[in-house]
Structure 1
Amino acid sequence: MSGTVTAVSSNEAYSFTKPNRDSVTLLTGLGVEGDVHAGVTVKHRSRVAKNPAQPNLRQVHLMHEELFDELREAGFGVAPGELGENITTSGVDLLGLPVGTLLRLGDEAVVEITGLRNPCLQIDNFQGGLLKQVVGRDEAGNIVRKAGIMSVVARGGVVRPGDPVKVELPAEPHRPLEQV
């Protein structure tokens, strides 16, 4: 299974959106160089308030570009970086991958998937009604989160739009993604 990086984004300040860049540098065990969410311990404000010493399982946020197409069909205009993701991909079913999957990004960088992003109410401040589009329920009533996946940097390197994404599944049995 493989795909493509379509955009990379980072922001040194806390902000819901992240500007697109020509490239980002992933730092092993830390995240995106210069990004506010990089670090060994958690940086997301809600998680810092609960326990600032917990490990940062949300170093790099990835989102599938196909979600933007789905949102456009529902009447929302969303572009890469606007939902706070660091890396936008196409051609890979990110939400269907198990915990521990390695994503090889470009020539060097590797991230390990830790879980699903759990979007907060800020998403409705960006565009009213958007939260219901990215968090819903399936036919059985289970919560479905579509706002991307979170990962940690297993090996650093530069990532650029156009770089290949190669998927390496972990040994079975696979564990489905849960919110982190």
Structure 2
Amino acid sequence: MPKVGMPEIRKPQLIQAAIKVIDERGFAGATVSVIGKKAGVSPAIINHYFGGKNGLLEETMKSLIREFFQLLKKELAEEKKESTIENIMIIVKTSLSHSQTQPEVVKVWMGFWALAMHDTVFFRLQRVYSKRLNTALVVELKGVLGLQKSREVSQVVASLIDGMWLRGSLDGGINKAYATKLIRSYLELELG
């Protein structure tokens, strides 16, 4: 029988082990056995807490998504500005922050996007992430653009973030200054 309180310790440990194994071996090589070995636990523990590899991968993505939106909430609370552009740029900078662009995390996000095209669980998680990001952008934009236009602009900004993130990831690193400059230029055109 597991010790009381162990899930709170083991689950984050197993998620970090999954991220490291995905970084080293990719999604296909991230077996329950290899992840368990990396975490120093029996594969049975992964099956117990997550119901297997897919459950662990799902929880890993939920963890990264949760981490992103917690960081975004914190950044918006601490850095909130009067300017709509500045508030949007907080969202952009958080999307391109260190925690989201570490090479090992990038590999997990890339694998997640690939899985989302073929797996309903990961597709749903991708939709949740996209909708929450778009909602955050619309909230900042609708006061100056109106609802319909803010939805359109938020789609473009989210696409620019994803595009800069993806291109930078494939090129070996994201040029955050360049990416934020281009996105700011677009916002300045739209917002006058």
From the two aligned structures, give the one with the greater strand fraction: 1
Normalising TM by the smaller chain, what interval?
Answer: under 0.3
Structure that is richer in helix per residue = 2
Greater RCO, 1 or 2 (C-alpha within 8 Å, sep 6+): 1
| TM-score scaled by length of structure 1 | 0.27
